[in-house]
């Protein structure tokens, strides 16, 4: 056997060995990912998915994975099993789908066999393009919607629920980062095509906005900054200016990214003169067969506002924004108006794979209104159909 042939055989053997090591790493990380959810995910019961079946479906695909990009794409498919915007990866590519609700600017629902826009995000590309509630979506990116939903519906489910369809539809309509969206809609019997991504919107860097409306009504809008502790100081500054108003409208309709409880308590603490419960946490400690449960309180902070308060919420009120809504309701300190909120489940903790280092979010704590209602099931007392209606209702309630 000559030297060249030996070298070729050695190279082939080395390549095969390298491929085997890569496959072992991806398999190891996938199993770690699966087990982390299996041990910690708080919402399997009643979810309609079979996590063991999901493992059977996706694990064999590891044998075809050749690089990190393909592995990430596979994990994105697995994440869709949970059909909730609170479960996501911290790694993505231009071909990745935008997450919801943060990456969405329309909210649509399946009604019978048809699909309708029921809400549009204020000051978004969708709104600027002319997309409106009530429009029927006939095609998306030139293709029937039914076929495209399959990518986002859970493969481990025996049957699909309305919640699964809602997630799949709105993930589809959020689109991917690398492709402009094309909506073919029907309005008043006529078809037309709208390209929302051809429009530009200006992103604000302000933590919040505030002003005094007619009738000496204060208005504060939180600009998706509930995770920034600097918001507390900014809120205090605005709040002190509005202390002499007849009422305050607190707008949480643009908080899809959630936040933290320090900021939430900092804001709510200006509306009470005594310590009050605002939300309940529950952790199922599966390993030990025990349950840990506690109620979180709001403590008064600085000067208390005594007059009327109305809270605005909507499809882009997520996670901590939802927690604040149920908190103000539990404290009996405000009237809550708006649509159904984002319905982001639980309090999330971040985990990471030991080899590829991809991070992922797991809701490990169930969150409840203090009256026992799951946070994701809470509906505003003064229910509206869309964002525009919500502001009109808030003005009516504050008078």
Tell me the pLDDT tens digit for each residue of 21-68. Answer: 667 899 999 999 999 999 999 999 999 999 999 999 999 999 999 999
Instruction: Output the pLDDT for position 111.
Output: 95
Tell me the pLDDT tens digit for each residue of 62-121. Answer: 999 999 999 999 999 999 999 999 999 999 999 999 999 999 999 999 999 999 999 999
Average predicted confidence (pLDDT) for the chain: 94
Where are any strands of DSSP class E within the chain? 106-111, 114-120, 136-140, 143-144, 183-187, 190-194, 208-213, 217-222, 247-251, 276-285, 290-298, 308-313, 335-338, 347-352, 359-368, 382-383
Under 8 Å CB-to-CB from 349, ≥6 apart: which residues?
40, 361, 362, 364
Tell me the pLDDT tens digit for each residue of 359-394. Answer: 999 999 999 999 999 999 999 999 999 999 999 999
Q: How far apart are CA 27 and CA 9, in angstroms?
A: 27
Instruction: Output the pLDDT for position 116.
Output: 97
Instruction: Output the pLDDT for position 300.
Output: 98
Instruction: Quickly state the pLDDT bin for 15 (edges 50, 70, 90).
Output: very low
For residues 212-222, average pLDDT: 97
Q: Which residues pair with 10 in a beta bridge?
A: none
Q: Give the global pTM.
A: 0.92
Instruction: Output the pLDDT for position 267.
Output: 98
For residues 326-330, average pLDDT: 98
């Amino acid at each position: 056997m000559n030297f060249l042939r030996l070298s070729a055989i050695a190279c082939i053997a080395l390549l095969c060995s390298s491929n085997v090591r890569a496959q072992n790493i991806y398999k190891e990380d996938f199993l770690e990912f699966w087990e982390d959810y299996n041990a910690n995910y708080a919402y399997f019961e009643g979810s309609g998915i079979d996590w063991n079946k999901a493992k059977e479906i996706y694990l064999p695909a590891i044998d075809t994975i050749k690089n990190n990009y393909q592995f990430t794409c596979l994990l994105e498919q697995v994440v869709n099993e949970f059909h909730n915007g609170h479960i996501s990866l911290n790694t993505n590519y231009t071909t990745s789908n935008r997450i919801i609700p943060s990456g969405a600017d329309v909210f649509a629902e399946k009604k019978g066999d048809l699909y309708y826009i029921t809400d549009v995000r204020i000051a978004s590309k969708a709104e600027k393009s002319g997309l409106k509630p009530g429009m029927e979506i006939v095609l998306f990116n030139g293709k029937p919607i039914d076929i495209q939903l399959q990518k986002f519906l859970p493969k481990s489910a025996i049957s699909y629920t309305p919640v699964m369809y809602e997630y799949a539809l709105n993930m589809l309509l959020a689109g991917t980062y690398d492709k402009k969206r094309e909506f073919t809609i029907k309005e008043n019997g006529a078809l037309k095509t709208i390209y929302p991504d051809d429009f530009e919107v200006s992103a604000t860097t302000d933590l919040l906005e505030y002003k005094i409306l007619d009738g000496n009504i204060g208005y504060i809008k939180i600009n998706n900054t509930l995770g920034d502790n600097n918001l507390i100081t900014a809120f205090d500054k605005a709040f002190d200016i509005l202390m002499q108003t007849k009422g305050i409208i607190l707008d949480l309709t643009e908080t899809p990214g959630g936040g933290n409880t320090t900021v939430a308590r900092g804001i709510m603490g200006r509306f009470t003169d005594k310590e009050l419960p605002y939300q309940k946490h529950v952790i199922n400690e599966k390993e030990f067969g025990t349950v840990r449960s506690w109620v979180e309180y709001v403590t008064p902070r600085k000067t208390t506002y005594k007059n009327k308060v109305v809270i605005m919420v909507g499809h882009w009120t997520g996670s901590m924004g939802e927690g604040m809504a149920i908190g103000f309701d539990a404290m009996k300190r405000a009237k809550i108006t708006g649509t159904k909120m984002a319905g982001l489940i639980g309090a999330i903790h971040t985990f990471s794979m030991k080899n590829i280092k991809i991070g992922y979010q797991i809701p490990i704590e169930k969150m409840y209104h203090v009256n026992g209602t799951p946070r994701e099931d809470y509906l505003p007392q003064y229910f509206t159909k869309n964002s525009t209606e919500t502001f009109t209702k808030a003005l009516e309630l504050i008078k």
